[in-house]
Amino acid sequence: MGSARENLQKTLSHEQPDRIVVDLGATPVTGIHVLVVEQLRKHFGLEQKPVKVTEPFQMLGEVEEDLQAAMGVDVIGINPASDMFGNPMKDWKEWKTPWDQVVLVPGSFALTVDSHGDTLIHPQGDASVDPSAKMPKAAYFFDAVNRQGPLDESKLDPEDNVEEFTPIVQEDLDYWRRVIPEAASKGKGLVANFGGTGIGDIALVPGLNLKAPRGIRDVADWYMSTLMRPDYLHYVFEKQTDVALENLSRISEIAGDQVDVAYICGTDFGTQDSSFCDLDTYESLYAPYYRKINDWVHEHTTWKTFKHSCGAVEPFMEHFISSGFDIINPVQINAAGMDPLLLKEKYGDRLTFWGGGVDTQKVLPFGTPEEVKSHVARQCEILSPGGGFVFNTVHNIQANVPLQNVLAMLAAIRQFGS
């Protein structure tokens, strides 16, 4: 039997691995909510301690090595030194969440509670500035706060939307020099989210890590700008790409072939039933920058490139391929046109499906354990032949998903693999 990393490499090369490769927790879009991580640790009899929040916007929890082993995880991930709110991921401290779970958050985490009982988080740990996100009292994750002022067309300057894209500093290079070999030594597949390559990622547009973001930061205004202000966005994307490639060049000298997959972009193009833009807009506005980044990665490294997009994106698949992406996630099989049989037949020899292992809208949260097992087995049966399939759920496992259903999912993966 090959190692976890060898099986991932076979999978990415569209060769049949010894067993299905499993990712549960490697990226910000393939993770597990802290509440479920805690429940899994208890179930498997692992050390009981507060779970680290590795991605606070969605409240994802760290899947440590002991839990990885218990769940049969083959892929791990590394992320930038600071979180989405600009907090360095160090000096961990306890925080009691609104649902009374004690978790670990970065030491600079700055939280306040408003008069409605909603939790507010402030960028870069500075509670003296306006919050950049809010967690409603009954919720389990944060939503971005719109901090954009009124737009004056005569004063719009695309430079305002590139302030967060800066050349990498020595401190961050030292960070990557430390964490990459450490992660690579585990013998598992390695996904690296180096940051800065998320062209048009709507989760990043509000500038959650900026104390006073300038430019177009409202989600609705940004989407309208794809039609109303394409030149503005082209300027932003071009500047972002130039900085990203320079940073990747310096990081790649450190990473070498220790990394298997580079997480490039989380920009969503699909809704449940349709898309956010047409294919012409994709080709004219986004594809040139994706191609430039992916072509650089393929020319200078051994990494495969990872594209996240939720929704009904079957019509975009050929365009993702021609843009140079090797991997598509989360494979939202419950969206219009996303029939896994069709996807595997048309694109399975050219794209790796990283996800699609279980429907997280209906089956995983609301099905019975037996329904979950049957569903997972069927998805693996469809997507796994010939490689090109990494098991993951359709996006992150959310809070309050029944533990018995998560366990049924894991049992089905083991049973199929055997």
pLDDT for 152: 93
CATH number for the domain formed by residue range(s) 4-93+157-417: 3.20.20.210
Single-letter amino acid code for the residue at 140: Y
Please name every residue paired with 96 in a beta bridge, in sequence order, or none if there are none: 102
pLDDT of residue 417: 76
Cα dist. 261→63, 305, 321 in Å? 19, 6, 16
**243-261: per-residue pLDDT in tens?**
999 999 999 999 999 999 9
Instruction: Report domain extents, the chain.
Output: 4-93+157-417, 94-155
Q: Residue 1: pLDDT above 80?
A: no
**Assessment of whether the complete model's pTM goes beyond 0.95:** yes
What confidence tens digit (pLDDT) does each residue in 313-370 have?
Answer: 999 999 999 999 999 999 999 999 999 999 999 999 999 999 999 999 999 999 999 9
Mean pLDDT of the chain: 97
Interstrand relation of 119-121 and 111-113 (parallel, antiparallel or unpaired) = antiparallel
Q: What are the tens digits of pLDDT across the range 71-89?
A: 999 999 999 999 999 999 9
Q: Are strands 60-61 and 389-391 parallel, antiparallel or unpaired?
A: unpaired
pLDDT at 2 over 90: no
Does residue 143 surpass a pLDDT of 80?
Answer: yes
Read off the pLDDT band of 379 (50, 70, 90): very high
Tens digit of each residue's pLDDT (9 = 90 or more) over 183-226: 999 999 999 999 999 999 999 999 999 999 999 999 999 999 99
Is a pLDDT exceeding 90 seen at residue 418? Answer: no
Model pLDDT, residue 315:
98
Determine what percent of the chain is predicted with pLDDT higher than 70: 100
Query: In angstroms, rounded to a whole number, what is the distance separating the alpha carbons of residues 176 and 244?
Result: 15
Letter for the amino acid at 408?
A
Beta bridge partners of 77: 191
- List of residues 6+ apart from 272 with CB closer than 8 A: 311, 312, 334, 335, 336
Of 418, 410, 415, nearest in space to 25 by CA: 410
